[in-house]
């Protein structure tokens, strides 16, 4: 293929315990998937209509890289989330078939320019500039589903400068992983390589330059980094 400009490199994630990497196709996210987080944001949960948005693949920050504080904000917030990686996809996937599509798990942060999000909400504008900015998705290595156990009792957590900020069991999610996959597949044709950030519990707060964070998917994988 003769390209007019050099093509962008394939975005990929490390795989725990392997020299292979996982190529990323799309990054989907679900909002308001923990009721206590929705309440702290002054919102309600509509079980019948999940809220989805996307981040660009090059927003991912992996391999232990630092996270630069973004431009155009004075209120950068953390949102710790379990991330699932799909090994297969489809459209209109039944809930009872969805879990089999999960290739692996990670822990990540959905970083949010909260001040820009508040402005967008007030004007009924899209959230893109608040969610899809550069370096807005720090993420750990992936752990294959065949090598770990994740269930309703598994906890996600986030410490900032050794202080616990967020923690909750996955059982508190409003929409389960199979339900998220099924709902997304009614809106998009999902494919191998897709990532899904599955929502954040209460406790979101600001990050500052110099902050150190430690996110964990209990018993599976962790993520450490520094905001620079």
Does this model's pTM top 0.85? My answer is yes
CA 167, chain centre distance (Å): 15
- The reported pLDDT for the residue numbered 209 is 98
Mean pLDDT, residues 138-149 taken together = 98
- Residue-level pLDDT at 217: 98
d(CA 3, CA 190): 27
What pLDDT digit, counting tens, does each position of 55-83 carry? 999 999 999 999 999 999 999 999 999 99
What is the C-alpha to C-alpha distance for residues 139 and 80, in angstroms, rounded to an integer? Answer: 10
φ/ψ region of 122 (left if φ > 0, alpha if ψ in -120 to 50, else beta) reads: alpha
% of residues, the chain, pLDDT over 90:
93
Question: Could you tell me the two tokens for 3?
Answer: 């390209």
Instruction: Classify domain 21-55+66-226 at the CATH superfamily level.
Output: Fumarylacetoacetase-like, C-terminal domain (3.90.850.10)
Q: Which residues pair with 107 in a beta bridge?
A: 82
Residues listed for the chain:
228
Q: State the average pLDDT over residues 28-49.
A: 86
Tokens of 169: 């069991």
Residue 211 contacts residue 111 (beta carbons within 8 Å): no
Q: Taking the C-alpha atoms of 181, 222, 225 and 161 in order, what is their torsion angle to the nearest 10 degrees?
A: 110
Per-residue pLDDT tens digits for 190-216:
999 999 999 999 999 999 999 999 999
| Residue ranges of domains in the chain | 21-55+66-226
Mean pLDDT, range 15-24, rounded to an integer: 98
């Amino acid at each position: 293929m003769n390209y007019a400009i050099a093509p962008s490199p394939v975005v990929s994630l490390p795989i725990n315990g392997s020299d292979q990497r996982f190529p990323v196709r799309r990054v989907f996210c679900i909002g308001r998937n923990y009721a206590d987080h929705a309440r702290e944001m002054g919102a309600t949960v509509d079980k019948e209509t999940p809220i989805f948005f996307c981040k660009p693949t090059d927003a991912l920050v992996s391999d232990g890289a630092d996270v630069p504080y973004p431009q155009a904000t004075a209120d950068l917030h953390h949102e710790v989330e379990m991330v699932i990686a799909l090994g297969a996809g489809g459209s209109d996937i039944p809930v009872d078939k969805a879990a089999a599509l999960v290739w692996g798990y990670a822990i990540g942060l959905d970083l949010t320019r909260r001040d820009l999000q508040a402005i967008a909400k007030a004007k009924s504008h899209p959230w893109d500039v608040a969610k899809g900015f550069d370096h807005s998705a720090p993420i750990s290595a992936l752990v294959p589903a065949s090598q770990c156990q994740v269930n309703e009792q598994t906890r996600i957590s986030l410490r900032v400068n050794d202080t616990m900020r967020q923690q909750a069991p996955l059982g508190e999610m409003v929409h389960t992983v199979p339900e998220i996959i099924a709902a997304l597949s009614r809106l998009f044709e999902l494919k191998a390589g897709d990532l899904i950030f599955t929502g954040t519990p209460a406790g979101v707060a600001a990050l500052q330059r110099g902050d150190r964070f430690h996110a964990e998917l209990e018993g599976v994988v962790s993520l450490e980094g520094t905001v620079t």
